[in-house]
Amino acid sequence: MTIADGTSQEADMGGLLRVGMVGYGFMGAVHSHAWRTAHRFFDLQLTPQLTALAGRNAAGVAEAAERQGWLSAETDWRRLIERDDIDLIDICTPGDMHSEIAIAALQAGKHVLCEKPLANSVADAAHMAEVARSAAERGVFAMCGFTYRRTPAVTLARRFVQEGRLGDIRHVRAQYLQDWLSDPDAPLTWRLDKQKAGSGALGDIGAHIVDMAQWVTGASVTDVSAMMRTFVTERPVAGERAGLGGTGSSEGPKGPVTVDDAAVFTARFDTGAIGVFEATRMALGRKNALRLEVNGTRGSVAFDFEEQNVLEFYDGSDAADAHGFRRIIVTEPVHPYVGNWWPAGHGIGYEHGFTHQVVDLVSAIAAGEQPRPSFDDALGVQRVLAAVEASAAAGSAVETVLS
């Protein structure tokens, strides 16, 4: 039951955190896994309950609810918000629905987890952040799902920066390389429709490297100079516009691709560091190569998600005969999150970042604290994305509005 100040009675009693989720595709499946798993490996003050799953297709959402462990299903996300047996709304929809659902949920006293990017425009993201700030004053919290922050090696890289092991940051290099759109006959999905997705590679995967670069370094992007390109301008119309990849046909109707296939840009940070960013879904042979390298005056770190249990670290204070990057296998109990999983040397996978996201979110809610990244943090990323689009359109550098 939701009580007058917007929090749930069960949450106050240290019992259940009852979750309603909107969307049951790729992201919905991995979020469901995280909600089911978190309390089984981490000690949480609140136990997540998969209370209700919402989707427009009655048969599809019922089947997904049964398979993924949800107690009930709805065909209208508004029913989740009306129900008094739900404390938190998890939004796993295309970007065009984020703002309406998140604002309605927060105003109804429900906590919110919203997938990235926060919205399809700065205006919508700013409105969401404003509503979230107001809700936080009532003890109702919102968080955006930049899940790669929770990869232990990435969290360790941030710790090294905070401890001063890299000194003053000079360079940031960030890439997110995928190839699932390399085939021109791959079908037209919602991710290729600007009205639904907001942007293409830029928002879908570029948002992750912008957030990661700013979070690891503790610096903010102030201006960018960008190029964007759509290599395949039309694709076969798929029977089902959802998810990644799929098979298409060169025969039959085609529809226009209205988003970017690739985005590249240089950036300046408020600390004086400079950065180079690349996001593409056309890098043939690269499946999920999210890469970050940070160079400072004392040391460097480098990470590639295709070897996600490894962080490379260069210590500039080493003797000359020991210079070189060292491979840190991030599977020791002293590493972030890892102590709750397997014995040392046994790596973890993609899904674990989502479990860590649930752990951090539930822990913050139980403590009455703002979880991070907040909607304000996500708004900062949205402003960078907008500046990239503006720069690419204008063919010149564009400042990022920080606030």
Domains of the chain and any CATH numbers: 9-148 (3.40.50.720), 152-307+309-348+381-394 (3.30.360.10)
* Residue matched to tokens 């049964």: 66
- For 88-147, how does the pLDDT look when each residue is reduced to its tens digit (9 = 90+)? 999 999 999 999 999 999 999 999 999 999 999 999 999 999 999 999 999 999 999 999
- For 332-353, how does the pLDDT look when each residue is reduced to its tens digit (9 = 90+)? 999 999 999 999 999 999 999 9
Give the model's pLDDT for residue 396: 80
- The first and second tokens of residue 18, run together, are 């009852």
- For 359-386, how does the pLDDT look when each residue is reduced to its tens digit (9 = 90+)? 999 999 999 999 999 999 999 999 999 9
Taking only Cα atoms into account, the Rg of the chain, rounded to an integer number of angstroms, comes to 21
12 has pLDDT over 80: no
Residue 249 pLDDT class (50, 70, 90 cuts): low
